[in-house]
Structure 1
Amino acid sequence: MAGRGRGRGKNVSFNVEALGFGRGEALPGPISQPPPLFPTADFKPVPFQQSEEYDYMLALKQEFLGNMRKSPFFLQASHKRKDIERYSDKYQAAAEVNGKWKPDWRRLPAELKPRVRRKTKSSIKPSVKVKSKVKLSVEDVSKTLEELEKKEVDQGDEEEEEEEEGAKKKEEGEVEEEEDEIYDEEDIEEETDYILSYFDNGEEYGNDDDDADEGPVY
């Protein structure tokens, strides 16, 4: 049990030739320079074939990609603007195609096509009375002015009569108030007569005699 875990790796053989070195060869020294920008290619690419068929396929591919990006189902990643808004951004946004899909209804059933109801204007027109234009002569204008003046004079006379009647009523009311006050004073005097006491016990009888009398009265 004590010998478990010991001696591992002794029988493992490492193939140095897999790294590109043979047996007995010295290892290369350290490289202190950066690798070249364009290293030599071991395999050259296949040459591009130029023909009308390839040009048509390339143009068709570009058109297909453009239509897919303009489609309303194309999802665009939301990106934050790191720069300020420019004057040209407005025209770039206007150049984009509006994302509304317009299907070809000739190839689809008519039941699926949404119907748009247009608002019809009501044919019933409200009855509006048209005022007839009447030409007024100078005589008609003068008559209307005279009638208005008469009305004003009559109203002024009525107001004066009302003022006179009001003044008369006020005077009559003042006279009635004075008469009521006189009657009230007389009633008060009559009521106070019963309150006063006229009892005389006779003790003061004879005190009114003068000192010039000759003698007492028997």
Structure 2
Amino acid sequence: MSGRGGRGRGRSLFTFNVDSLGFGRGEALPTGVQAPSPLYPPMQFRPVPLQTGEEVEYMLALKQELRASSKNLPFHIQPSAPRKDVARYSDKYQSGEAKCGEWTPDWSRLPKELCIKVQKSRKAKTKPVVKSKIKPAAPKEVLQKLENLEKKEAENQSEEEEDEEKKQKKTGEEEEEPDDAEDYNEEEFEEETDYIMSYFDNGEDFGGDSDDNVDEATY
């Protein structure tokens, strides 16, 4: 086993090229840096220095004045004052400037086309339902109405009975008609048979004179 180990070549300690790190073979490796790394890397491009002079300072003053005067105009949306009912822990971390609230413009300076018209909801007017007062009927009127109803019912019943009687008569007449037709047919049949019996000839008298000369030939 020891002989096999001496035959092969020794393997390198690193699997990559050491020259790419900046030092060659045989040189000592750099020691580890124990100091903290820099907070920010060095800047390649530095910012342009601020312009100074009387003109620049004058423009800056005008800008600040315009910003302050714009807040005093009537068209500036003023922030609504917050309600401090309860002291909260987060109030001290919020900015001192309040948030913007609603703006009520001066409509006298704006055209009518831009005015916002708030339509109020109209309540549907419902007419009160007037209940008709029912007058109590007199007892005489009630009795008269009952009598009229009874008369109408009696008339309807009489009409229905008459209609039923008419229907029964019609059905009875229709049942009687086929019996007469049968009698009529029987009478005709009897007359025909009488005529046939009176004029029936069986042919026995035919050729009675020629019985004597049976053997003689006839021409």
The two structures have a TM-score, normalised by structure 2, of 0.36
* TM-score between the two structures when normalised by the length of structure 1: 0.36
